[in-house]
Amino acid sequence: MAKPGVKIVTIGGGSSYTPEFVEGLINRYDEIPVRELWLVDIEEGKEKLEIVGNLAKRMVDKANLPIDIHLTLNRQEALKDADFVTTQMRVGQLDARVKDERIPLKYGMIGQETNGAGGLFKALRTIPVMLDIAKEMTTLCPNAWLINFTNPAGIVTEAVLKKSPHKKVVGVCNVPINMKMTIANLLDAPLDTLEITFAGLNHMSYGIDVIVDGESRLDDVLTLLADPEKQLSMQNITPLPWETSFIHALKLIPSPYHRYYYKTSNILEQQLTEYNKGITRAEVVKRLEAGLFNLYKNPDLNIKPPQLEKRGGAYYSDVACNLISSIHNDKGDIQTLNVENNGAISDLPNDAVVEVNCVVTKGGPIPLAIGALPYTINGLVQQIKSFELAAIEAAMTGSYEQALLALCLNPLVTDDQSAKFILDDMLEAHRDYLPQFFNGNLAKYIV
Protein backbone atom coordinates (compact mmCIF):
# COMPACT_ATOMS: atom_id res chain seq x y z
CA MET A 1 0.00 0.00 0.00
CA ALA A 2 1.38 3.39 -1.03
CA LYS A 3 2.36 5.80 1.71
CA PRO A 4 0.42 9.07 2.00
CA GLY A 5 1.72 12.02 0.02
CA VAL A 6 2.80 12.49 -3.59
CA LYS A 7 5.63 10.71 -5.35
CA ILE A 8 7.24 12.70 -8.17
CA VAL A 9 9.87 11.42 -10.56
CA THR A 10 11.98 13.83 -12.63
CA ILE A 11 13.77 12.27 -15.60
CA GLY A 12 16.74 14.42 -16.49
CA GLY A 13 17.17 15.18 -12.81
CA GLY A 14 20.76 16.33 -13.31
CA SER A 15 19.53 19.30 -15.33
CA SER A 16 20.52 22.80 -14.27
CA TYR A 17 16.76 23.54 -14.16
CA THR A 18 16.13 21.13 -11.28
CA PRO A 19 16.70 23.67 -8.46
CA GLU A 20 13.94 25.80 -9.99
CA PHE A 21 11.57 22.82 -9.86
CA VAL A 22 12.58 21.94 -6.30
CA GLU A 23 11.98 25.55 -5.23
CA GLY A 24 8.53 25.37 -6.81
CA LEU A 25 7.67 22.21 -4.89
CA ILE A 26 8.93 23.70 -1.63
CA ASN A 27 6.84 26.84 -2.12
CA ARG A 28 3.73 24.75 -2.81
CA TYR A 29 4.18 22.05 -0.20
CA ASP A 30 0.77 22.89 1.36
CA GLU A 31 -0.81 22.16 -2.03
CA ILE A 32 1.49 19.34 -3.15
CA PRO A 33 2.55 17.28 -0.11
CA VAL A 34 5.52 15.63 -1.78
CA ARG A 35 6.56 12.40 -0.03
CA GLU A 36 9.37 11.46 -2.41
CA LEU A 37 11.19 13.22 -5.22
CA TRP A 38 13.23 10.89 -7.39
CA LEU A 39 15.85 12.53 -9.62
CA VAL A 40 16.82 10.22 -12.47
CA ASP A 41 19.63 10.53 -14.99
CA ILE A 42 21.95 8.44 -17.14
CA GLU A 43 25.55 7.38 -16.53
CA GLU A 44 26.92 10.33 -18.53
CA GLY A 45 24.98 12.70 -16.28
CA LYS A 46 25.91 11.06 -12.98
CA GLU A 47 28.21 13.84 -11.76
CA LYS A 48 25.67 16.56 -12.50
CA LEU A 49 22.92 14.49 -10.87
CA GLU A 50 24.91 14.21 -7.64
CA ILE A 51 25.71 17.93 -7.60
CA VAL A 52 22.12 18.98 -8.26
CA GLY A 53 20.71 16.30 -5.98
CA ASN A 54 22.83 17.42 -3.05
CA LEU A 55 21.73 21.02 -3.59
CA ALA A 56 18.10 19.85 -3.69
CA LYS A 57 18.59 18.04 -0.38
CA ARG A 58 20.07 21.20 1.18
CA MET A 59 17.12 23.24 -0.11
CA VAL A 60 14.63 20.80 1.43
CA ASP A 61 16.56 20.74 4.71
CA LYS A 62 16.55 24.54 4.83
CA ALA A 63 12.77 24.51 4.30
CA ASN A 64 12.46 21.87 7.05
CA LEU A 65 10.13 19.72 4.94
CA PRO A 66 9.75 15.91 5.09
CA ILE A 67 10.55 15.34 1.41
CA ASP A 68 12.78 12.34 0.73
CA ILE A 69 15.04 12.98 -2.26
CA HIS A 70 16.43 9.96 -4.10
CA LEU A 71 19.12 10.03 -6.79
CA THR A 72 19.30 7.13 -9.20
CA LEU A 73 20.43 5.96 -12.63
CA ASN A 74 17.77 3.21 -12.48
CA ARG A 75 14.66 4.61 -14.15
CA GLN A 76 12.50 1.56 -13.46
CA GLU A 77 13.27 1.73 -9.74
CA ALA A 78 12.24 5.37 -9.67
CA LEU A 79 9.02 5.00 -11.68
CA LYS A 80 7.38 2.37 -9.50
CA ASP A 81 4.12 3.76 -8.02
CA ALA A 82 4.86 7.35 -9.09
CA ASP A 83 2.02 9.87 -9.13
CA PHE A 84 3.66 12.36 -11.48
CA VAL A 85 6.59 11.96 -13.87
CA THR A 86 8.25 15.04 -15.32
CA THR A 87 10.72 14.92 -18.20
CA GLN A 88 13.38 17.58 -18.84
CA MET A 89 16.04 15.66 -20.69
CA ARG A 90 18.38 16.35 -23.60
CA VAL A 91 19.39 13.23 -25.52
CA GLY A 92 23.05 13.73 -26.44
CA GLN A 93 23.42 16.50 -23.84
CA LEU A 94 24.57 20.01 -24.76
CA ASP A 95 27.13 18.75 -27.27
CA ALA A 96 24.19 17.57 -29.39
CA ARG A 97 22.64 21.04 -29.18
CA VAL A 98 25.88 22.56 -30.47
CA LYS A 99 25.62 20.32 -33.55
CA ASP A 100 21.91 21.13 -33.96
CA GLU A 101 22.80 24.82 -34.17
CA ARG A 102 26.12 24.76 -36.02
CA ILE A 103 25.35 22.32 -38.88
CA PRO A 104 22.35 24.20 -40.34
CA LEU A 105 24.32 27.46 -40.15
CA LYS A 106 27.07 25.81 -42.19
CA TYR A 107 24.51 25.68 -45.04
CA GLY A 108 23.12 29.16 -44.45
CA MET A 109 20.03 28.06 -42.50
CA ILE A 110 18.89 29.11 -39.04
CA GLY A 111 20.33 26.89 -36.31
CA GLN A 112 18.04 26.60 -33.29
CA GLU A 113 17.38 23.80 -30.83
CA THR A 114 13.59 23.56 -31.25
CA ASN A 115 12.92 25.18 -34.62
CA GLY A 116 13.95 24.21 -38.14
CA ALA A 117 16.55 21.49 -38.72
CA GLY A 118 17.80 21.59 -35.13
CA GLY A 119 14.31 21.06 -33.77
CA LEU A 120 13.79 18.13 -36.11
CA PHE A 121 16.90 16.33 -34.92
CA LYS A 122 16.16 16.99 -31.28
CA ALA A 123 12.77 15.33 -31.89
CA LEU A 124 14.31 12.39 -33.76
CA ARG A 125 16.66 11.68 -30.84
CA THR A 126 14.05 12.22 -28.13
CA ILE A 127 10.88 10.49 -29.33
CA PRO A 128 12.17 6.88 -29.04
CA VAL A 129 13.43 7.54 -25.49
CA MET A 130 10.13 9.12 -24.47
CA LEU A 131 8.22 6.15 -25.86
CA ASP A 132 10.39 3.83 -23.76
CA ILE A 133 9.55 5.89 -20.68
CA ALA A 134 5.83 5.85 -21.47
CA LYS A 135 5.94 2.07 -22.00
CA GLU A 136 7.58 1.58 -18.60
CA MET A 137 4.95 3.81 -17.01
CA THR A 138 2.12 1.62 -18.30
CA THR A 139 3.31 -1.19 -16.02
CA LEU A 140 5.15 0.59 -13.19
CA CYS A 141 2.87 3.60 -12.61
CA PRO A 142 -0.14 3.36 -14.97
CA ASN A 143 -2.08 6.05 -13.12
CA ALA A 144 0.73 8.61 -13.17
CA TRP A 145 0.64 11.78 -15.22
CA LEU A 146 3.55 12.29 -17.61
CA ILE A 147 4.36 16.00 -17.76
CA ASN A 148 6.73 16.67 -20.60
CA PHE A 149 8.95 19.76 -20.59
CA THR A 150 11.42 18.22 -23.05
CA ASN A 151 11.63 20.16 -26.32
CA PRO A 152 10.32 20.23 -28.94
CA ALA A 153 7.48 19.81 -26.46
CA GLY A 154 4.59 19.74 -28.92
CA ILE A 155 6.11 17.15 -31.25
CA VAL A 156 7.31 14.92 -28.41
CA THR A 157 3.96 15.09 -26.60
CA GLU A 158 2.04 14.26 -29.79
CA ALA A 159 4.32 11.31 -30.54
CA VAL A 160 3.72 9.83 -27.09
CA LEU A 161 -0.05 10.36 -27.22
CA LYS A 162 -0.30 8.78 -30.69
CA LYS A 163 2.23 5.97 -30.41
CA SER A 164 2.01 4.92 -26.75
CA PRO A 165 -0.81 3.28 -24.77
CA HIS A 166 -0.13 5.73 -21.92
CA LYS A 167 -2.58 8.60 -22.44
CA LYS A 168 -2.12 10.67 -19.29
CA VAL A 169 0.37 12.95 -21.02
CA VAL A 170 0.59 16.76 -21.05
CA GLY A 171 3.20 19.00 -22.63
CA VAL A 172 4.28 22.16 -20.84
CA CYS A 173 6.22 25.22 -21.96
CA ASN A 174 7.32 28.39 -20.21
CA VAL A 175 6.73 30.69 -23.22
CA PRO A 176 3.04 31.49 -22.50
CA ILE A 177 3.71 32.31 -18.85
CA ASN A 178 6.70 34.46 -19.85
CA MET A 179 4.44 36.34 -22.26
CA LYS A 180 1.72 36.71 -19.65
CA MET A 181 4.06 38.10 -17.00
CA THR A 182 5.71 40.49 -19.44
CA ILE A 183 2.35 41.79 -20.69
CA ALA A 184 1.10 42.23 -17.13
CA ASN A 185 4.15 44.41 -16.46
CA LEU A 186 3.66 46.38 -19.69
CA LEU A 187 0.05 47.09 -18.77
CA ASP A 188 0.92 47.68 -15.10
CA ALA A 189 -1.81 45.19 -14.26
CA PRO A 190 -1.75 42.68 -11.39
CA LEU A 191 -1.10 39.21 -12.79
CA ASP A 192 -4.24 37.72 -11.25
CA THR A 193 -6.45 40.24 -13.11
CA LEU A 194 -5.09 39.34 -16.56
CA GLU A 195 -5.94 36.46 -18.87
CA ILE A 196 -4.55 35.78 -22.35
CA THR A 197 -6.27 33.46 -24.81
CA PHE A 198 -3.56 31.44 -26.55
CA ALA A 199 -4.02 29.36 -29.68
CA GLY A 200 -1.65 27.48 -31.98
CA LEU A 201 1.19 25.03 -31.51
CA ASN A 202 4.15 24.86 -29.18
CA HIS A 203 6.54 27.72 -30.01
CA MET A 204 3.92 28.68 -32.61
CA SER A 205 1.04 29.92 -30.44
CA TYR A 206 -0.38 33.43 -30.58
CA GLY A 207 -2.13 35.63 -28.06
CA ILE A 208 -5.64 35.96 -29.47
CA ASP A 209 -6.93 38.36 -26.83
CA VAL A 210 -5.85 39.97 -23.56
CA ILE A 211 -8.49 40.48 -20.90
CA VAL A 212 -7.92 42.62 -17.80
CA ASP A 213 -10.78 42.81 -15.31
CA GLY A 214 -13.21 41.67 -17.98
CA GLU A 215 -12.11 44.21 -20.61
CA SER A 216 -10.09 43.53 -23.78
CA ARG A 217 -6.73 45.30 -23.79
CA LEU A 218 -5.46 43.72 -27.01
CA ASP A 219 -5.14 47.02 -28.87
CA ASP A 220 -3.17 48.52 -25.99
CA VAL A 221 -0.78 45.55 -25.99
CA LEU A 222 -0.25 45.75 -29.76
CA THR A 223 0.59 49.44 -29.44
CA LEU A 224 3.06 48.69 -26.67
CA LEU A 225 4.70 45.88 -28.65
CA ALA A 226 5.34 48.29 -31.52
CA ASP A 227 7.70 50.18 -29.17
CA PRO A 228 11.28 48.86 -29.60
CA GLU A 229 11.79 49.28 -25.85
CA LYS A 230 8.80 47.11 -24.94
CA GLN A 231 9.27 43.68 -26.45
CA LEU A 232 8.31 40.13 -25.53
CA SER A 233 11.47 38.08 -25.51
CA MET A 234 13.45 35.39 -23.72
CA GLN A 235 17.07 34.84 -22.81
CA ASN A 236 17.73 32.78 -25.93
CA ILE A 237 16.00 35.07 -28.47
CA THR A 238 17.19 38.56 -29.39
CA PRO A 239 14.33 41.06 -28.86
CA LEU A 240 14.34 42.45 -32.41
CA PRO A 241 11.53 45.06 -32.57
CA TRP A 242 8.42 44.37 -34.62
CA GLU A 243 7.40 46.57 -37.53
CA THR A 244 4.53 48.72 -36.20
CA SER A 245 2.27 48.30 -39.22
CA PHE A 246 2.76 44.53 -39.22
CA ILE A 247 1.78 44.12 -35.58
CA HIS A 248 -1.37 46.19 -36.00
CA ALA A 249 -2.29 44.34 -39.22
CA LEU A 250 -1.76 40.94 -37.59
CA LYS A 251 -4.07 41.90 -34.69
CA LEU A 252 -2.55 39.08 -32.65
CA ILE A 253 0.33 38.81 -30.20
CA PRO A 254 3.26 36.84 -31.63
CA SER A 255 5.47 34.88 -29.27
CA PRO A 256 9.23 35.52 -29.11
CA TYR A 257 9.75 32.40 -31.24
CA HIS A 258 7.79 33.93 -34.13
CA ARG A 259 10.82 36.07 -34.87
CA TYR A 260 12.33 33.01 -36.53
CA TYR A 261 9.49 33.07 -39.06
CA TYR A 262 8.70 36.76 -39.49
CA LYS A 263 12.28 38.04 -39.13
CA THR A 264 14.11 35.11 -40.68
CA SER A 265 16.77 37.06 -42.57
CA ASN A 266 17.52 39.31 -39.57
CA ILE A 267 17.89 36.34 -37.22
CA LEU A 268 19.97 34.41 -39.75
CA GLU A 269 22.31 37.35 -40.34
CA GLN A 270 22.86 37.69 -36.60
CA GLN A 271 23.42 33.95 -36.14
CA LEU A 272 25.88 33.76 -39.03
CA THR A 273 27.88 36.66 -37.56
CA GLU A 274 28.13 34.79 -34.26
CA TYR A 275 28.81 31.47 -36.02
CA ASN A 276 31.73 33.00 -37.92
CA LYS A 277 33.14 34.09 -34.56
CA GLY A 278 32.83 30.51 -33.31
CA ILE A 279 29.85 31.25 -31.08
CA THR A 280 26.36 29.74 -30.92
CA ARG A 281 23.68 29.97 -28.24
CA ALA A 282 24.48 26.37 -27.30
CA GLU A 283 28.08 27.30 -26.51
CA VAL A 284 26.89 30.27 -24.46
CA VAL A 285 24.62 27.90 -22.53
CA LYS A 286 27.51 25.48 -21.94
CA ARG A 287 29.47 28.29 -20.29
CA LEU A 288 26.44 29.35 -18.24
CA GLU A 289 25.88 25.78 -17.11
CA ALA A 290 29.51 25.34 -16.11
CA GLY A 291 29.21 28.43 -13.93
CA LEU A 292 25.92 27.23 -12.44
CA PHE A 293 27.30 23.83 -11.51
CA ASN A 294 30.29 25.49 -9.85
CA LEU A 295 27.77 27.42 -7.75
CA TYR A 296 25.72 24.29 -7.07
CA LYS A 297 28.81 22.52 -5.68
CA ASN A 298 29.10 25.04 -2.83
CA PRO A 299 28.08 23.09 0.31
CA ASP A 300 26.79 26.33 1.85
CA LEU A 301 24.37 27.01 -1.02
CA ASN A 302 20.82 26.01 -0.04
CA ILE A 303 18.66 28.13 -2.34
CA LYS A 304 18.12 28.41 -6.09
CA PRO A 305 20.79 30.89 -7.21
CA PRO A 306 19.51 33.95 -9.09
CA GLN A 307 22.02 33.28 -11.87
CA LEU A 308 19.78 30.41 -13.05
CA GLU A 309 17.41 32.91 -14.67
CA LYS A 310 20.06 33.61 -17.33
CA ARG A 311 19.77 29.99 -18.46
CA GLY A 312 16.50 30.66 -20.29
CA GLY A 313 14.07 28.50 -18.30
CA ALA A 314 12.51 31.19 -16.14
CA TYR A 315 9.12 30.25 -14.62
CA TYR A 316 9.51 26.57 -15.54
CA SER A 317 8.66 25.63 -11.95
CA ASP A 318 5.53 27.77 -12.04
CA VAL A 319 4.28 25.94 -15.12
CA ALA A 320 5.13 22.41 -13.98
CA CYS A 321 4.19 22.83 -10.32
CA ASN A 322 0.96 24.70 -11.07
CA LEU A 323 -0.10 21.87 -13.35
CA ILE A 324 0.73 19.20 -10.76
CA SER A 325 -1.14 21.13 -8.07
CA SER A 326 -4.20 21.70 -10.23
CA ILE A 327 -4.49 18.02 -11.16
CA HIS A 328 -3.80 16.84 -7.61
CA ASN A 329 -6.29 19.30 -6.08
CA ASP A 330 -8.88 19.28 -8.91
CA LYS A 331 -8.66 23.08 -9.09
CA GLY A 332 -10.45 23.71 -12.36
CA ASP A 333 -8.26 26.71 -13.14
CA ILE A 334 -7.10 27.76 -16.61
CA GLN A 335 -3.58 27.04 -17.87
CA THR A 336 -1.96 27.08 -21.31
CA LEU A 337 -0.85 23.54 -22.15
CA ASN A 338 0.01 21.16 -24.99
CA VAL A 339 -2.83 18.66 -25.26
CA GLU A 340 -4.87 16.74 -27.82
CA ASN A 341 -6.93 19.21 -29.82
CA ASN A 342 -10.30 17.45 -29.42
CA GLY A 343 -12.03 20.15 -31.47
CA ALA A 344 -10.55 23.17 -29.71
CA ILE A 345 -9.07 24.49 -32.99
CA SER A 346 -11.50 23.53 -35.74
CA ASP A 347 -8.85 23.77 -38.50
CA LEU A 348 -6.75 20.94 -37.02
CA PRO A 349 -7.43 17.21 -36.50
CA ASN A 350 -8.82 16.13 -33.14
CA ASP A 351 -5.73 14.01 -32.37
CA ALA A 352 -3.24 16.78 -33.18
CA VAL A 353 -1.47 18.28 -30.18
CA VAL A 354 -2.09 22.01 -29.85
CA GLU A 355 -1.09 24.70 -27.37
CA VAL A 356 -4.27 26.24 -25.99
CA ASN A 357 -5.90 27.33 -22.75
CA CYS A 358 -7.31 24.42 -20.76
CA VAL A 359 -9.40 23.89 -17.65
CA VAL A 360 -7.31 21.64 -15.41
CA THR A 361 -9.13 19.01 -13.36
CA LYS A 362 -8.19 15.78 -11.58
CA GLY A 363 -9.07 14.05 -14.83
CA GLY A 364 -6.54 16.17 -16.68
CA PRO A 365 -6.69 19.28 -18.86
CA ILE A 366 -9.80 20.03 -20.93
CA PRO A 367 -9.00 22.29 -23.91
CA LEU A 368 -11.19 25.35 -24.38
CA ALA A 369 -12.75 25.89 -27.80
CA ILE A 370 -11.09 28.48 -30.03
CA GLY A 371 -12.90 27.78 -33.28
CA ALA A 372 -11.21 28.53 -36.58
CA LEU A 373 -7.82 30.22 -36.55
CA PRO A 374 -7.64 33.65 -38.19
CA TYR A 375 -6.63 33.37 -41.85
CA THR A 376 -3.55 35.47 -41.02
CA ILE A 377 -1.95 32.61 -39.12
CA ASN A 378 -3.74 29.45 -40.26
CA GLY A 379 -1.39 28.80 -43.17
CA LEU A 380 1.79 28.98 -41.09
CA VAL A 381 0.28 26.87 -38.29
CA GLN A 382 -0.83 24.24 -40.81
CA GLN A 383 2.64 24.15 -42.39
CA ILE A 384 4.33 23.64 -39.02
CA LYS A 385 1.83 20.90 -38.11
CA SER A 386 2.65 19.13 -41.40
CA PHE A 387 6.33 19.36 -40.48
CA GLU A 388 5.60 17.94 -37.02
CA LEU A 389 3.67 14.97 -38.42
CA ALA A 390 6.48 14.14 -40.86
CA ALA A 391 8.99 14.45 -38.00
CA ILE A 392 7.05 11.95 -35.87
CA GLU A 393 6.82 9.51 -38.80
CA ALA A 394 10.57 9.83 -39.40
CA ALA A 395 11.36 9.25 -35.72
CA MET A 396 9.17 6.16 -35.59
CA THR A 397 10.32 4.55 -38.82
CA GLY A 398 13.90 5.72 -39.27
CA SER A 399 12.89 6.74 -42.79
CA TYR A 400 15.42 8.89 -44.60
CA GLU A 401 12.72 10.07 -47.01
CA GLN A 402 10.40 11.15 -44.17
CA ALA A 403 13.22 13.04 -42.45
CA LEU A 404 14.05 14.81 -45.72
CA LEU A 405 10.38 15.58 -46.27
CA ALA A 406 10.10 17.03 -42.77
CA LEU A 407 13.04 19.33 -43.45
CA CYS A 408 11.60 20.48 -46.76
CA LEU A 409 8.21 21.17 -45.15
CA ASN A 410 9.78 23.45 -42.55
CA PRO A 411 9.76 27.13 -43.59
CA LEU A 412 13.22 27.69 -42.08
CA VAL A 413 14.75 25.26 -44.59
CA THR A 414 14.81 27.02 -47.94
CA ASP A 415 15.62 24.37 -50.57
CA ASP A 416 15.59 20.62 -50.96
CA GLN A 417 19.24 20.22 -51.99
CA SER A 418 20.52 22.07 -48.92
CA ALA A 419 18.03 20.05 -46.88
CA LYS A 420 19.70 16.86 -48.09
CA PHE A 421 23.17 18.15 -47.22
CA ILE A 422 21.97 19.12 -43.73
CA LEU A 423 20.23 15.77 -43.28
CA ASP A 424 23.33 13.80 -44.26
CA ASP A 425 25.58 15.81 -41.97
CA MET A 426 23.16 15.70 -39.04
CA LEU A 427 22.54 11.97 -39.34
CA GLU A 428 26.26 11.30 -39.21
CA ALA A 429 26.85 13.79 -36.38
CA HIS A 430 24.10 12.21 -34.25
CA ARG A 431 24.63 8.60 -35.33
CA ASP A 432 25.01 7.31 -31.76
CA TYR A 433 21.56 8.61 -30.81
CA LEU A 434 19.64 7.63 -33.95
CA PRO A 435 19.71 3.83 -34.09
CA GLN A 436 16.40 3.72 -35.97
CA PHE A 437 18.11 5.26 -39.03
CA PHE A 438 21.16 3.03 -39.14
CA ASN A 439 19.94 -0.39 -40.15
CA GLY A 440 21.75 -0.61 -43.48
CA ASN A 441 19.20 1.37 -45.48
CA LEU A 442 21.02 4.71 -45.56
CA ALA A 443 24.03 3.84 -47.67
CA LYS A 444 22.19 4.40 -50.94
CA TYR A 445 21.26 7.96 -49.91
CA ILE A 446 24.23 9.43 -48.06
CA VAL A 447 27.09 10.52 -50.34
Distance CA 145, CA 170 (A): 8
Active site residues: 257
Residue 220, phi then psi, degrees to nearest 5: -65, -40
Distance CA 111, CA 104 (A): 5
Tell me the C-alpha distance between 394 and 385, whole Å: 14
Amino acid at 390: A
State which amino acid sits at residue 363.
Answer: G
